[in-house]
Amino acid sequence: MTKLTLGSHPHMLGFEQLERLLERTAKTGNEGYPPYNIEQTSENSYRITLAVAGFCEDDLSITVEDRQLVIRGRQAEDEEQRVFLHRGIAARQFQRSFVLADGVEVDEAQMENGLLHVDLRLSRPETVVQTINIRKG
Q: Which domain holds residue 24?
A: 1-30
Are residues 67 and 96 located together in one domain of the fold? yes
User: Model confidence over 102-132: pLDDT tens digits?
Assistant: 899 999 999 999 999 999 999 887 888 999 9
Residue 132 lies in a domain: no
Shared-domain flag, residues 43 and 2: no
Residues 79 and 102 in one domain: yes
Residue 131 lies in a domain: no
Q: Which DSSP state fits 17?
A: H
Distance CA 137, CA 134 (A): 9
Give yes or no: residues 110 and 70 share one domain.
yes
Please tell me whether the peptide bond between 34 and the residue prior to it is cis, using omega within 30 degrees of 0: yes
What H or E segment, with its residue span, contains residue 93?
Answer: none
Q: What is the pTM of this model?
A: 0.70
A 10 A CB-CB count for 7 gives 14
Check whether residue 96 and residue 38 sit in a common domain: yes
Both 25 and 43 in one domain: the answer is no
Q: How many CB atoms lie within 10 A of CB 131?
A: 4
What share of residues in the chain are helix, strand, coil (percent, to 5)?
A: 15, 35, 50
User: Which pLDDT belongs to residue 115?
Assistant: 97
Same-domain status, 82 and 103: yes
Half-sphere exposure of 92 (CA within 13 A, CB side): 9
Encode pLDDT of 55-98 as tens digits. Answer: 999 999 999 988 899 999 998 776 678 888 998 876 689 999 99
CATH number of the domain residue 100 falls in: 2.60.40.790
Q: Is 6 helix (H, G, I), strand (E, B) or coil?
A: helix
Tell me: do 48 and 22 sit in the same domain: no
